[in-house]
Amino acid sequence: MLEWKRGWSGRYALLIEGARRVGKTTIVKEFAAREYENSIYIDFNNPPEQIIPLFEHNSGNLDRFLSYLGALYKVEMHERRTLIIFDEVQNYPKARALIKYLVEDGRYDYIETGSLISLRKNVENITIPSEEMRIEMYPMDFEEFCWAGGDETTVPFIRKHFEEMVPLAPLHGEMMERYRTYMLVGGMPQAVAEYWNTKDFSNVEKVKRQILALYREDMGKIPVGNGTKARMIFDHIPSMLSFHRKTFSPSRVKKGSKRNAYADSVSWLEEAKICNICYVCADPDTMLNLTRGDEFKCYLLDTGLLVTLEIEERSSSGIYSSFIGGDLSINSGMFFENMVAQELRCSGHNLFYHEFYPSPCSKKPYEVDFILPADSGGIVPIEVKSGRISARHASLDAFVSKYQERVRRSYVVHSRDLRVDGDIVYIPIYMSMFL
């Protein structure tokens, strides 16, 4: 946001996209208070009754529009020192369309926030402004989780060990416990605040269940029956991720159904940033998107929410303590893999995986969980192992053998300490944020 203000504001509005309750409004208001003399905040979820008529009848005359806007909010506006915020702008597309002319006017800075920004019904009757710089906002990462608890040293310490490829040795167990706590709480700001304020996991669960209820309520507003399908997919994410082969299967949602029946609903979940979709890549190389297939895996945006979605109405206290303690009777595999998907998306990576048959007579495919493009060209395969034994990885070995000219370095993400074995780097899951 600072980069935008210092180098691009005045020429572009800033558009912040993200799922509901990831903290878009809070961070924008804090940014406005810190970086601007004053601001005007317009919430298009619940706008003042005069706002819509103001846009409808005065947007053709920007001098009058801006004058009325300042008077309505009782704000003395100053050129280049006043920020105007359009929150949840997808609810009133005409405001977004006006951004083009407001930015060209040049007097004030503009930030828009929203989800489902590109959904057809939110853009079909407007010209999408080219004067927008987009950024995506995700749940709080581990470093931000630590900051919220007053800890600014843990993640730099871990980063230094990752960069130097040095194990954490006696501190590894403590770091895993902290990271497992983060996985359970998740990165939704309200849940994080509740945890650090109370350290009461039952209270954290209540907050997360409210967020899940909000998402289900939003799905109920999707037209033409797709809302029901979206909710069915959403509610089945834990069961789909609990399988060894986690590829989306329509029959696991509803027997006899076909993938294309869910296409619009999956697109909605992806556009709403509620799900991170990981697509199969048929021929893994630097340009992964060029051979993207139709099959995919569906991860939840936040692993803490996945935990809550999985346990639902069951008592959370025993599950929380068992997971933090590393009890492997808990199905931690789905949480580990979802967490790595979340970390990769937060780092700006698109998600891809690869399936292949190791030999012509093989009956079951091998799968590499994630594939990233390497900075130097080629690819980086990633295998996720939640159990105590992580040295056996037939899929990864076969993949490296098949694509050896393309593979630069391989990673196994596991629950144990960092170690290097040839071209394979074994990293604890709390280092996956650096991939």
Q: What's the token pair of residue 27?
A: 């961070």
Task: Round to whole Å and give the CA distance between 259 and 249.
Answer: 7
Exposure on the CB side of residue 388, measured as CA atoms within 13 A: 4
pLDDT at site 313:
55
DSSP string, 248-263: --HHHHSTT--GGGGH
Looking at the domain 2-136, which fold is it?
A: Rossmann fold (3.40.50)
Q: What is the model's pLDDT at position 429?
A: 98
Q: Which residues are CB-contacts of 281 (< 8 A; sequence separation ≥ 6)?
A: 288, 291, 292, 293, 352, 353, 354, 371
Task: Give me the residue spans of the domains in the chain.
Answer: 2-136, 142-434
* Confidence (pLDDT) at 120: 59
Whole-number pLDDT of residue 87: 97
Residue closest to 134 by CA, chosen among 306, 264, 269, 273: 273
Token look-up 């269940």 returns 209
Specify the pLDDT at position 314.
60
Measured in degrees and rounded to the nearest 5, phi and psi for residue 414 equal -145, -175
Element (H, E) at 121: helix 120-123
pLDDT at residue number 6 = 95
**Cross-strand pairs, 269:** none
Burial 24-55 (b: 16+ CB within 10 A, else e): bbebbbebbeebbeebbbbebeebeeebeebb
Residue type at 391?
A
* pLDDT for res 317: 63
Q: In the prediction, which pLDDT does 325 show?
A: 75
Residue with tokens 């056996």: 392
| Whether the Cβ atoms of residue 238 and residue 246 lie closer than 8 Å to each other | no
Residue with tokens 């891809």: 352
pLDDT tens digits in sequence order for the chain, 435 residues long: 999 999 999 999 999 999 999 999 999 999 999 999 999 999 999 999 999 999 999 999 999 999 999 999 999 999 999 999 999 999 999 999 999 999 999 999 999 999 887 665 667 677 888 999 999 999 999 999 999 999 999 999 999 999 999 999 999 999 999 999 999 999 999 999 999 999 999 999 999 999 999 999 999 888 767 889 999 999 999 999 999 899 999 999 999 899 999 999 999 999 999 999 999 999 999 899 999 999 999 999 999 999 999 987 565 666 777 778 776 455 678 999 999 999 999 999 999 999 999 888 888 999 999 999 998 889 999 999 987 778 889 999 999 999 999 999 999 999 999 999 999 999 999 999 999
What is the pLDDT, as a whole number, of residue 126? 78
Instruction: List % helix, strand, coil for the chain (3-state, nearest 5).
Output: 45, 20, 35
275: β partners:
300
Largest CA distance in the chain: 75
Measuring CA to CA, how many Å separate 179 from each of 81, 211, 300, 347? 41, 22, 18, 17
* Residue 261 CB partners (closer than 8 Å, separation 6+): 229, 250
Say which residue the tokens 């298009």 belong to.
Answer: 44
